[in-house]
Structure 1
Amino acid sequence: MSAASAHTAGILLLTLVAVAYGGAFVLRVTRGSVPATDFQHRSFRAGHAHAGVFVILGVLCQLLVDRAVLGPGAEVLARQGVPLAAILVPAAFFLSAAGRGRERPSRWILLLWPGVLCLTAGLVSLGVGLLRA
C-alpha cells in the first residue's frame, strides 16, 4: 500500500467515529428524544447511511487505486472522489433538513449533485484504471 493510500485510509477510518456519533443522533431522533418531522427523520437516516457506506467504499478505493493504471489527474479522482462524496452527499441530507419543523429540503440539497459527480468521477476513473492494469 502506498503512503498516500495509507494516509487517506487512516483519515477515513477515523471519520467513522463521527459517523458513529451521527448514528447516536439518528437513534435519539428515532426514539423521539429529538423532535423531528417525518421529512427530517428520513433525511437524517439517509445522510447517516450514505456517510457510512461512502466512507467504507472510500477505504476500499484506497486499496485498489495502487493497482490501477492511472494518469496523475485520474489518480486524484480515483483516490479522492468517493471521500469527497462521503462529505457532500450526507451534508446535503443533513443540512437541507436542519431547522425546527422543516417539512421540505432547503437549498442545501443542491450539495447532492456535486457529491454525485465526485462519486461518479472517482468510481469511473478507478474502474477504468483497474481494467487497464
Structure 2
Amino acid sequence: MEPTDILPIVAILSIVTVEFGGHALLRFITTDRDRLGAFRERFFRAGHAHAGVLLVLSLVYLLYLPRAGFSDAGEWLCGVVLLTGVLAQSGGFFLHLGVGKEGGRSPGTMLTRSGALLLAVALVALAAGLIRAA
C-alpha cells in the first residue's frame, strides 16, 4: 500500500483518541474540577486542542503529498515526520501537565518544541516538493 493510503487512516483513528480526550476533559471539568487544578487543566486543554487541529492539518497535508512528486520512501518519510511531530507537539503538553511545574521547563516543554520543529520540517519539505513539481 502507498503511504498516502495508510497514513490518513492512522490520522483519522487518532482523531478518535482526541474525541475521547475531549470527553475526559469535560468529565474532569464538570465533576472533578478541583482534582486537575488550573495549571493541569490549562495544559490538558492545550494538548487536546493542538492534537485535534494538527491531525486535521495532517489530513490536508496527506492529500497534497502525492502532488509533490516524492518517491514512496520520500512520502513515507514526510508523513511519518509529520505525524511524529503532531504526537510530540501535543504529547509534550500532556507530559508537562504530569511532570512540569508552573512557570518552569520540563521534558514536556522540550518535547513540544521538538514536535514543532518536526512539523516545520515536514511542512517545508512538502512546500519545496510542490514548488519543484509545479
Q: Is the Cα contact below 8 Å between 1:40 and 1:97 reproduced in 2?
A: yes
SS in 1 for 2:48: helix
SS in 1 for 2:121: helix
Map 1:1-133 → 2, pairs under 5 A: 3-34=2-33, 35-70=35-70, 75-98=75-98, 103-104=102-103, 106-133=106-133
Q: Is the Cα contact below 8 Å between 2:43 and 2:97 reproduced in 1?
A: yes
Q: Deviations over 1:13-50 (max 9, x none)?
A: 11111111111121123224251121111100000001
Aligned partners of 1:107 and 1:4: how far apart in 2? Answer: 31
SS in 1 for 2:36: coil
Amino acid at match of 2:126: L
- CA drift of 1:73 comes to 6.8
TM-score by length of structure 2 reads 0.84
Task: Name the one with the larger helix percent.
Answer: 2
The alignment of Structure 1 onto Structure 2 pairs a total of residues equal to 130
Q: Deviations over 1:89-116 (max 9, x none)?
A: 11110111026xx645533221012101
Amino acid at match of 2:32: S
Over aligned residues, Cα RMSD in angstroms? 2.1
Identity within the alignment, %: 32
Q: 1:107–1:37: structure 2 CA closer, same or farther, 3 Å change rule?
A: same
- CA drift of 1:76 comes to 4.1
Gaps of 5+ in 2: none
Aligned partners of 2:107 and 2:40: how far apart in 1? Answer: 14
Amino acid at match of 1:17: V
Q: Is the Cα contact below 8 Å between 1:92 and 1:112 reproduced in 2?
A: yes
Aligned partners of 2:108 and 2:50: how far apart in 1? Answer: 16
- CA drift of 1:118 comes to 0.7
Q: Is the Cα contact below 8 Å between 2:65 and 2:126 reproduced in 1?
A: yes
Q: Is the Cα contact below 8 Å between 2:2 and 2:72 reproduced in 1?
A: no
Aligned partners of 1:24 and 1:104: how far apart in 2? Answer: 27
Aligned partners of 1:90 and 1:130: how far apart in 2? Answer: 27
